[in-house]
A and B are shown apart, each in its own frame.
Chain A
Amino acid sequence: MTAGAGRSSGIGSLARRPEVGSLVGLIVTYVFFAILGGQVFLGAPGWSSWLNTAAEVGIISLPVGLLMIAGELDISVGSVLPASSLTVAIISGRYGLPIYLGIAGALCVGLAVGFLNGLLVSRTRIPSLIITIGTMFAVMGLTLGFTILIAGSTGVFIVPDPLTKSLLGAALGGMFQVGIFWWAGFCAVIYFLLHVSHWGNWIFALGGDRESARNAGIPTQRLTIQLYMLSGFAAAFVGVIQVVTFGSAQVAAGSSFIFNSIMCVVIGGVLLTGGAGSVIGIVLGTMTFAIVNQGIFFSGLDPNFGSIIIGALLLAAVLSNDTFRAMALSYAAKKQ
């Protein structure tokens, strides 16, 4: 994806990277809300506020972004999250088993749903949008049915032990949640997978053209299943973080993560058609999304306008990404 010509001017080649659009968007958004939000937003309370939000949607956006680069979608993340929270709460809260068993159970739920998604998407010709809508409904139903059956109510309560709470649910200085560090860790792992290991090339190839990738010898079925298991795992992980942080799990949770993660990924420059994108872009997009969501509450704006601003931002970000990409592609041609 890097332009072959143009190594001469450092700034020039840097400016032509696809993430530049996302970075510019991030800076513009931050400055806008900093002006409105004043001192409080610029200080640690402001930073920790949007970083806390970004961490959770960020962990899910990373594998959702990978899937989009590979040309697929995952709608079921919205229902895997509460399923995982409730698994932890029921196993360790209701039944009193040690919490690592609850967490292991929750992560297995995420992996299992991911496996099912990957299997159905790779074995049938049904589009992943439809398959994951189906699994989303199915998991929602199973979650509600089993929770009421086992626990008698839609929510389950848990008191995590101090060690687990400090690892997964504490807030440093009472402000920066530990999830931020987990997010950073995820980013590093996914960056390695996508940009350093050969696995990443396979993902780009899959997004470019599935048939060609298959013919080139890439194990597309296995790859698809692995990607979906990764997104199921990520959604389950955020579910675990939430239940350990807040001590309570409810059935009706997680729905906003579906479109939020897609927004973060798209603002970050990942093409919906697949074949292009980067981890840095996704991270920048996630930060931009979180800054807008939180910045509204710090500014003096009426929160009712919140959604309008988010929608306008999404369109502006995508249009500017589009423009930057067109510029980058045409720039390279000019140099020749």
Chain B
Amino acid sequence: MTNVLKLMITAALLATTANVAMAGGAKIFVVGGKADDPFWSIVKRGAEDAGKVVGAEGGKVVWLAPQNYDNLGVDAAELIRQAIDQKADAIVAPDWVPAAMDPAFKAVKAAGIPFIVYNAGGIQAADRLGAMNYVGAVDYRAGVAAGDYLGKAGHKNGVCVNSLPGAANIEDYCKGFAEGISKAGGKSDVLPLPATAEGNVTAVAQAVRAYLLQHADVDAIMATANLDAVGIVQGVAQAGKAGKAHLCGINFDQAILAQISAGTQDCAIDQQGYQQGFYAVSILNGYVNYGLSIPTREILTGPGIVDNSNIKSTMVGAKEGTR
């Protein structure tokens, strides 16, 4: 019993001293999407890579994320407040749901903590809340880019597949898609999937197939999640619409790039999540330690379009988990 006790006491002491040694640099808290989200794991990777510099200068990067997207605005607002509670030196957070999260951002401002808005909200949010910069694409504009791309290519009858109805970021993709395709002279609809289809790529494939069979003139589809894009390609093929229904998706990974190469997917919208995490953390680290800043307040990382014409260079990054 005494040996175990000694071991526990030593461990506790080591833990506390470890904390003390870190007290030199900047403690940067980053609020992001859930850890098993393909896009957000790339953002986290960018933040962590920038965190290597932060750590070398004696600080650390702490990643805060909700468990799921059931209550996005509320959970994110709570995480921002938690960062304040933990005496953050700097905070990075997205403005997904302004109504819910603006008060939390205002609390950050009132506490005198420098912060950057990233990923959602745009420069308008940064201006309204008094953030240093805005780094990122805007989900809405990513949807617009997809709708625009497909509409301009002549596919004017669109549907946006939403496998997570309710989450603000996914809803923005679909709304943006509607605007993008209508500006190019087309129209669009939304296909929401019931909760019984969550996390099931076969259900997405079969739902899209059924939808295409019943709506024969749909020729533009938008995918809002990585696995959905893979499922939709199968659904399109099984509905006999391969080559007639064109797909554009948000984000990409190796599977999606393979689809673009093979011609079964037309494009993917690149928000360069890695850059969002990397630059937001780097800018704040420079500011906290040395008072540096970037006067160009809006730093857009997207939306970029990846299609057959520029796919080669992205494949390396996708393999590494940075794109």
A174 and B240 contact, CB distance less than 8 A = yes
With contacts A248-B201, A252-B38, A253-B199 known, what are 5 further pairs, Cβ within 8 A?
A50-B206, A144-B36, A154-B36, A246-B231, A256-B203
Q: For residue A159, which residues in chain B have a CB less than 8 angstroms away from its CB? A: 258
Q: How far is the CA of A298 from the CA of B206 in the complex (A)?
A: 11
Q: Chain B: interface secondary structure?
A: helix
Q: For residue A297, which residues in chain B have a CB less than 8 angstroms away from its CB? A: 191, 206-207, 210-211, 214
Q: For residue B41, which residues in chain A have a CB less than 8 angstroms away from its CB? A: 148, 153-154
Closest partner residue, chain A, to B239 (CB atom) = A45
In the assembled complex, the CB of A156 is this many whole angstroms from the nearest CB of chain B, namely 8
> How many chain A residues touch the partner (CB < 8 A)?
53
Q: How far is the CA of A253 from the CA of B230 in the complex (A)?
A: 13
A193 within 8 A of B: no
B37 within 8 A of A: yes
Q: How far is the CA of A271 from the CA of B227 in the complex (A)?
A: 35
Q: For residue A304, which residues in chain B have a CB less than 8 angstroms away from its CB? A: 165, 192
Q: For residue B206, which residues in chain A have a CB less than 8 angstroms away from its CB? A: 49-50, 52-53, 294, 297
Contact of B230 among A140, A148, A247, A298 (CB under 8 A): A247
Chain B residues close to A by CB (< 8 Å): 34-38, 41-42, 45, 165, 191-203, 205-207, 209-211, 213-214, 226-227, 230-231, 234, 237-240, 253-255, 258, 320-322
Q: How far is the CA of A234 from the CA of B196 in the complex (A)?
A: 19
B210 and A298 contact, CB distance less than 8 A = yes
Q: How many residue pairs bridge A and B at CB < 8 Å?
A: 152
Q: How far is the CA of A260 from the CA of B193 in the complex (A)?
A: 14
A245 and B202 contact, CB distance less than 8 A = yes
B253 and A153 contact, CB distance less than 8 A = yes
A253 and B258 contact, CB distance less than 8 A = no
Chain A residues close to B by CB (< 8 Å): 37, 40, 45-46, 48-50, 52-53, 56, 78, 82, 140, 144, 148, 151-157, 159, 171, 174-175, 242, 245-248, 250-257, 259-260, 263, 293-294, 296-298, 300, 303-304, 306-307, 310
Q: For residue A300, which residues in chain B have a CB less than 8 angstroms away from its CB? A: 214
Q: How far is the CA of A243 from the CA of B40 in the complex (A)?
A: 22
B202 and A56 contact, CB distance less than 8 A = yes
B196 and A260 contact, CB distance less than 8 A = yes
Q: For residue B320, which residues in chain A have a CB less than 8 angstroms away from its CB? A: 152
Q: How far is the CA of A252 from the CA of B42 in the complex (A)?
A: 15
Q: How far is the CA of A82 from the CA of B198 in the complex (A)?
A: 13
Q: For residue A46, which residues in chain B have a CB less than 8 angstroms away from its CB? A: 210, 213
A157 and B197 contact, CB distance less than 8 A = no
B255 and A248 contact, CB distance less than 8 A = yes
Given known pairs A297-B210, A303-B192, A304-B192, the reply for A248 and B237 (CB within 8 Å) is no
The contact sample of 16 A-B pairs, CB cut-off 8 A, is A40-B213, A45-B239, A140-B36, A153-B45, A155-B226, A155-B253, A159-B258, A248-B254, A250-B36, A250-B201, A252-B34, A252-B38, A253-B201, A255-B198, A263-B196, A293-B194
Q: For residue A257, which residues in chain B have a CB less than 8 angstroms away from its CB? A: 199-200
B202 and A293 contact, CB distance less than 8 A = no
Q: How far is the CA of A298 from the CA of B205 in the complex (A)?
A: 14
Q: How far is the CA of A82 from the CA of B201 in the complex (A)?
A: 11
